[in-house]
């Protein structure tokens, strides 16, 4: 039987991290590339973030009432999703 720490370590290893983004013509994020090379369209990314599969993003409800993706809050603007390199 695995200990709680072993389960957490396994879950952490399996989590994706967004490392690059693609923006549409309006400048909005529309695709995300993970550290494993997987490319997510916006809907797929919403699902992955909602399920807790992405370590550096969270969901928030916008003024439009819809769910949107943003960076987890920290003190660095460098790792904000909109500041990631584009692919």
Which residues is 71 bridged to in the sheet?
57
| Rounded distance between C-alpha atoms, residue 19 and residue 11, angstroms | 19
pLDDT digits (tens, 9 = 90+) for 34-84: 999 999 999 999 999 999 999 999 999 999 999 999 999 776 777 699 999
pTM metric for this prediction: 0.78
C-alpha distances (whole Å) from 25 to each of 10, 22, 54, 80 are 38, 10, 25, 20
| Rounded distance between C-alpha atoms, residue 75 and residue 70, angstroms | 14
């Amino acid at each position: 039987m695995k200990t709680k720490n072993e389960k957490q370590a396994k879950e952490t290893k399996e989590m994706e991290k967004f490392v690059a983004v693609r923006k549409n013509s309006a400048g909005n994020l529309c695709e995300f590339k993970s550290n494993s090379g997987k490319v997510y369209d916006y809907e797929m990314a919403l699902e992955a973030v909602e399920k807790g599969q992405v370590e550096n993003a969270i969901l928030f409800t916008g003024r439009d009432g819809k769910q949107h993706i943003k960076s987890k809050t920290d003190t660095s603007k460098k790792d904000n999703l909109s500041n990631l390199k584009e692919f």
